Amino acid sequence: MSSYVTRKTPGDTSWFTHDRFGMFIHWGLYALPARHEWIKSREKISEEHYDLYFKHFNPDLYDPTEWARQAKAAGMKYVVMTAKHHEGFCMFDTQYTDYKCTNTPAGRDLIREYVDAFRGEGLRIGFYYSLIDWHHPDFTIDPIHPRRDDPDAKEQNQGRDMHRYAEYMRNQVTELLTNYGKIDILWFDFSYSQDRGTGENAWQVGKGKDDWEAEQLIALARRLQPGIIIDNRTEIDQDIWTPEQYQPTEWIRHPETGELVTWEACQTFSGSWGYYRDEMTWKSPEMLIRMLVNTVSLGGNLLMNVGPTARGYLDYRAEAALAVYAEWMKYNSRSIYGCTMAEPEFETPTDCRLTQSQDGSRIYIHLFAYPFAHLKLRGFSGKIEYAQFLHDGSEVLFSDGCINHFSAQNEKTDSEITVLYLPDVKPHCLVPVIEIFLK
Ligand code: GLC
């Protein structure tokens, strides 16, 4: 059994730390401008202009079953989609605002179709719900709000009431957690109570748990869906820590107690979360696989994002990236599911990453750079029963002590090392994996 113990969580994370790999979906009106999901704030777009996106939102090619099929093929076991992003537009049929997909040319509850499709493919279902709302009339103007630099911003805040907004959120979370069957994850985003405006706008302050009335919000969610996994972005510790757009280099620890925590890195294919037509920073296939491996090798999950187009399909670059995962996971998923960071007794060889099955019986060596002929291991001596390449189940020979070659006679025998004998040609696989069965 793995010796790593994580901080206790209120929700049930056992399936989550087994499944390891999920799909994030950022889809909303921002798919139309197609230049970042924060566009309303970045460009300080007026309500009037933003309404054009509402008026023209017509995802006539939306086929969530196709998305779900691709997610499943990529090896993703769960999914989290934006029910509402910061722009405030609702992708579900809510009673509490008219600013929802059913009132656009889309004309139907997109979240319902999403839930049905992904559930049908056997994935667990999550909702992303933005705490931030740049459309709601009670959400006060703050340092990231689109109206922040309006000369009359302060006046516009008169009469806005965050208590009413917090109630609105509770109403919508009630809808989301009542009308769509079992929901596995609720992903709130995000708190920024440390933010302040500058100069003339110094009166503007960010928002955090008190503004969201987060305790009530969480209690409500737990009452409606016991066992649900909730992230920490309300500013109250719940189940998962969510490092975003960077690769942790150690297992994430609780900042105060130092305990290991349950964590999920969320990452993008190209930098932004919403569909961004002109973005050219798409990650390479190698990097995509490495990000998944790196994450699991440190005991974490990966939530990889797609930003569907305004017409409702996954653009060719996103499909190609998902296909990279599909190809690799088809043969190598055993080093991901049910795996975690390897026990410290097993040293990570140069250019490699290790994962270990949570029952402790197998180690997976991921070869980030393919070595010539030999791979030297430390900490494995006398412990290996059998070794093979994971992708084809072909035996990998090994010896304890030293390299078995006549010219290596001067190499001191070192009882601590184990040598694996590798073919000269790297297997046809982006990141080859060696599976070690321990005695
Ligand atoms: C950020 C961004 C957002 C994105 C999220 C995903 O906090 O505000 O656009 O939805 O990260 O983690």
pLDDT tens, 29-48? 999 999 999 999 999 999 99
Tens of pLDDT, residue by residue over 205-264, are 999 999 999 999 999 999 999 999 999 999 999 999 999 999 999 999 999 999 999 999
Reading phi first (left if > 0) and then psi (alpha if -120 to 50, else beta), residue 75 is in left
Give me the pLDDT at residue 424, please. 97
For ligand 1, the distance from its centroid to the CA atom of residue 266, given in whole angstroms, is 9
Alpha helices (H) in 99-197, listed in sequence order: 110-120, 153-156, 162-178
Ligand 1 lined by 244 (C-beta under 6 Å): yes
Between the CA of residue 419 and those of 187, 347, 370, 377, 379, what are the distances in Å? 45, 13, 15, 6, 11
Rounded Cα gap, residues 338 and 361, in angstroms: 11
- Looking at ligand 1, which residue's alpha carbon is closest to its atom 5? 189
Give me the pLDDT at residue 411, please. 81
- Could you tell which of 190, 264, 276, 302 is best to mutate to test the pocket of ligand 1, judged by most ligand atoms within 8 Å of the CB? 190
Tens of pLDDT, residue by residue over 142-173, are 999 999 999 999 999 999 999 999 999 999 99
Given a cut of 80, whether residue 288 has pLDDT beyond it is yes
Give me the pLDDT at residue 415, please. 87
Give me the pLDDT at residue 414, please. 87
Per-residue tokens: 267 = 């990452």
Ligand 1 lined by 37 (C-beta under 6 Å): yes
Given a cut of 90, whether residue 395 has pLDDT beyond it is yes
What number is the average pLDDT over the span 98-114?
98
Q: What percent of the chain clears pLDDT 70, i.e. is strictly above it?
A: 100
Ligand 1 lined by 435 (C-beta under 6 Å): no
Give me the pLDDT at residue 404, please. 86
CA geometry: angle 26, 28, 33, nearest 5 deg = 105
For ligand 1, the distance from its centroid to the CA atom of residue 179, given in whole angstroms, is 25
Residue by residue, DSSP assigns 345-365 as TSPPPTTEEEEEETTSSEEEE
For ligand 1, the distance from its centroid to the CA atom of residue 268, given in whole angstroms, is 10
Query: φ and ψ at 66, to 5 degrees?
Result: -70, -40
For ligand 1, the distance from its centroid to the CA atom of residue 166, given in whole angstroms, is 20
Per-residue tokens: 208 = 């955090």
- Could you tell which of 81, 134, 244 is best to mutate to test the pocket of ligand 1, judged by most ligand atoms within 8 Å of the CB? 244
Give me the pLDDT at residue 405, please. 85
Tens of pLDDT, residue by residue over 407-438, are 888 788 888 999 999 999 999 999 999 999 99
Ligand 1 lined by 134 (C-beta under 6 Å): no
For residue 216, what is the enclosing H or E element? helix 214-224
For ligand 1, the distance from its centroid to the CA atom of residue 138, given in whole angstroms, is 22
Ligand 1 lined by 32 (C-beta under 6 Å): no
Q: What is the DSSP letter of 96?
A: S
> To the nearest whole number, what is the mean pLDDT of the chain?
97
CB-CB contact of 95 with 175 (8 Å): yes
What number is the average pLDDT over the span 389-409?
92
For ligand 1, the distance from its centroid to the CA atom of residue 188, given in whole angstroms, is 10
| Ligand 1 closest atom vs CA 190 | 7
Give me the pLDDT at residue 431, please. 98
For ligand 1, the distance from its centroid to the CA atom of residue 274, given in whole angstroms, is 9
For ligand 1, the distance from its centroid to the CA atom of residue 189, given in whole angstroms, is 7
CB-CB contact of 53 with 29 (8 Å): yes
pTM over 0.85? The answer is: yes
Given a cut of 90, whether residue 270 has pLDDT beyond it is yes
- Can you state the percent helix, strand and coil of the chain, rounding each to 5? 30, 20, 50
Tens of pLDDT, residue by residue over 117-132, are 999 999 999 999 999 9
Given a cut of 80, whether residue 268 has pLDDT beyond it is yes
- Could you tell which of 41, 189, 231 is best to mutate to test the pocket of ligand 1, judged by most ligand atoms within 8 Å of the CB? 189
Give me the pLDDT at residue 205, please. 97
For ligand 1, the distance from its centroid to the CA atom of residue 412, given in whole angstroms, is 54
Ligand 1 lined by 187 (C-beta under 6 Å): no
Ligand 1 lined by 240 (C-beta under 6 Å): no
| Ligand 1 closest atom vs CA 38 | 9
| Ligand 1 closest atom vs CA 132 | 8
Ligand 1 lined by 188 (C-beta under 6 Å): no
Ligand 1 lined by 266 (C-beta under 6 Å): yes
Give me the pLDDT at residue 283, please. 98
Per-residue tokens: 295 = 């994450």
